[in-house]
Amino acid sequence: MPKASHAILDYATPAPAGGIDRLRSLFWPIAVAFFVAGVVVMAGVGWASAVIQLGTSFALLLVWLAAAYGWGLIPRLILKLPVETPLGRVTTLATGLGILSLLTLGLGLVGGMNQIVAGAITLIGFGVSVVGLLRHRTSVHLRVDLVHWWWLLLAPLASLTITAAMLPAGFLWGMDEPNGYDVVEYHLQVPREWFELGRIVPLTHNVFSFFPFNVEMHYLFAMHLMGGPWVAQFLAQMMHAAFVGLTVAAVYAAVAERGRFAAMMAALFAGAVPWMPMLGSIAYNEGGLLLYGTLGIAWAMRATSWRQFSIAGLMIGFACGCKLTAVPMLLIGLPVSLTLTLLLNRALSRQAMLGMLFMVAIAVLVFSPWLVRNAIWVGNPVFPEQQKLLGRGYFSQEQSDRFYKAHKPRPDQQAFSARTIELWRQVFADWRFAYAPLPIALVAILLTIRRRETQLLLLMLLGLTAFWLIATHLQGRFYVLAIPIAAMAIGGLPRRGVWAVGTLVIIMAVAGTAMTVWRLQQVTDEMSRRGVDLMTAIGFTEIDRSIEIRNNAGVLPNMPIVLIGDAQAYNWKVPSKQLHYRTVFDADTSNGRSASDAWTADLPNGTQAMFYIDLSELERFNRTYGTPRSDLGYDMMNLPGPQFSMVWTVRHLPSQPVPASAPSP
């Protein structure tokens, strides 16, 4: 394919990198000292445990990254990716992470994943990485990009992110978004169940197990590597922090051809937005979408050959395997934006169209393991999405309706005007987006609109906005891909403009740290009022509900435990086979089935079990989803306390369980 007209990027000639700072020998000691000191200060009374975790989980994180780089070198040799460039290095590492995800999926599906296998995979990747770094002298090139004093501005945010990642799962960031409930409901709980089962199987009590799990596969890998689901939680959370950190590196790499200073400003701009450390500190999956989405856009802007289109497709495919929202945003949105950009510049050629088709084909191929898995499990490749078109799997019609209701805007947000107000409130006027980045990016776009890459970024931003307004339930978290897009647009400013933005970057880096620390303090204060001192729990796994189980008289060691209204199963340190729970979407009350039958469907009649009932969650389900909360034997809403436990005997007919003992608060 000729390397002419249809490339979006119009600054293909690399700018000179400049000389390496004479004081570079002092950079790493200073940077490490800043980082460690930041962790100690942020941890406060938990500083000793934080330092121990730096020597264990964080050290394993670095080994995992090195192993991923080694696995990424294998396709690099096949695709002849220029690893010496910043974009080549970040892409190599990201590719290795994607390979580890699919490798863990494949081995997990056949029951072939265990601690020995995880260790062997790590050692192989680490060995290849060391050999590759030595042979290609990459360390020399790395110094040019990594040794830069501007990076120190992000040291406090890095310290904050890693310190917060050492807190027990499920507490951050309170009732705000991102909410830790999802972490203990499925991001960590589903890998925990697969770890204990020894293989990856469909979990019909947890519908989220049918989502693509490219990021969560690393959490499962961490559990096998460290030999347990709770000892690995800090490594898992740090893994997500690494995905977010690599997104910042990907922004730098995407802009590096315009010069180191422009690249630094763009990267710092992205890293200073509070959403980044907040997401990075918990075991979510947005980090994978951010990393692969950024790289997919960066490679699409450069695409002039089959190889470059294939790399863009590889990144898009990995992004779709992280989160289904990547399908409309990237798998569909990026080719459409590319086509419109080329049409606007009268540069759409037959070769470019074929290249984009090839890019989409590669993306679908990389995404296909998750599609095939779901097609085999429930017949719908993207279940639980697209149920009306592709089938609702094991869901009843009531469950399907409940799922769609939960993922639509509230009735008062249905009108387009109300959605627009939410866009302003949750994006432009939300402190988590730091107020300034998006408006500044729009100004940068207007100033550089004649450039093809700017036009592509604008179209991607408009497409993301349309998707957020029309097809989501209006949460700011679904708009975070705008952060690296905005940063790349800012990196396209002329040098004078970048210098002007530099002043704002310094303010943003300081303000972003301050705002995130402020929110963390709010969360810790709220938990203190509930009797939990979070900072003393850094690096420990003891905060869980197993204490309630041990103190409950009359509960046998192997007695089934039924969680009603509560799907935070990761907080219960008992074998998964003893724990019975359902998400609100898996509680089927259709065809006259009572709520008690719905929550205990997998237990036979006559089973004596301990029931843990979360009244506040049942009330929320009733208010939000219309799920019955009262048909459990008597009106539980009149009982004291938001939560209580009791021993009951399961009886499906009649539909109410018979109490075996009085409730205990």
Give the residue ranges of DSSP H helices in 9-85.
Answer: 24-43, 47-55, 57-79
Place of tokens 């019955």: 628
**Band of the pLDDT at 1, cuts 50, 70, 90?**
very low
How far apart CA 271 and CA 516 sit, in angstroms, is 12
Give residue-wise pLDDT tens across range 321-376. Answer: 999 999 999 999 999 999 999 999 988 889 999 999 999 999 999 999 999 999 99
Highest mean pLDDT among 373-377, 530-534, 650-654: 373-377
DSSP designation for 183: I
**H and E: helices and strands count for the chain:** 28, 5
Answer whether 419's CB lies under 8 Å from 409's CB.
yes
How far apart CA 476 and CA 466 sit, in angstroms, is 14
How far apart CA 426 and CA 428 sit, in angstroms, is 7
Q: Identify residue 482 by its one-letter amino acid code.
A: A
SS3 state of residue 661 = coil
How far apart CA 295 and CA 97 sit, in angstroms, is 13
Q: What is the mean pLDDT of residues 135-158?
A: 69
Res. 4: pLDDT tops 60: no
Give residue-wise pLDDT tens across range 283-317. Answer: 999 999 999 999 999 999 988 888 899 999 999 99
Q: Out of 295-309, 399-413, 637-651, which region has the weakest mean confidence (pLDDT)?
A: 637-651
Answer whether 312's CB lies under 8 Å from 299's CB.
yes
Q: Where are the domains of the chain?
A: 24-168+178-520, 546-659
Q: Out of 6-10, 353-357, 363-367, 458-462, which region has the weakest mean confidence (pLDDT)?
A: 6-10
The whole-number pLDDT of residue 95 equals 95
pTM (2 d.p.): 0.90
**Band of the pLDDT at 560, cuts 50, 70, 90?**
confident
The whole-number pLDDT of residue 280 equals 94
Q: What is the mean pLDDT of residues 130-159?
A: 71
Percent of residues, the chain, with pLDDT higher than 70: 85
SS3 state of residue 105 = helix
Answer whether 493's CB lies under 8 Å from 302's CB.
no
φ, ψ dihedrals at 17, nearest 5°: -75, -25
Q: Identify residue 202 by its one-letter amino acid code.
A: P
* 489: its two tokens: 């647009």
SS3 state of residue 610 = strand
| Of 87, 88, 38, 84, residue with least CA distance to 58 | 38
Answer whether 335's CB lies under 8 Å from 227's CB.
no
SS3 state of residue 555 = coil
Give residue-wise pLDDT tens across range 56-111. Answer: 999 999 999 999 999 998 887 776 665 678 898 899 999 999 999 999 999 999 99
Res. 145: pLDDT tops 90: no
Pick the residue with more confidence: 512 or 230? 230
SS3 state of residue 432 = helix
How far apart CA 591 and CA 94 sit, in angstroms, is 48
Answer whether 367's CB lies under 8 Å from 321's CB.
yes
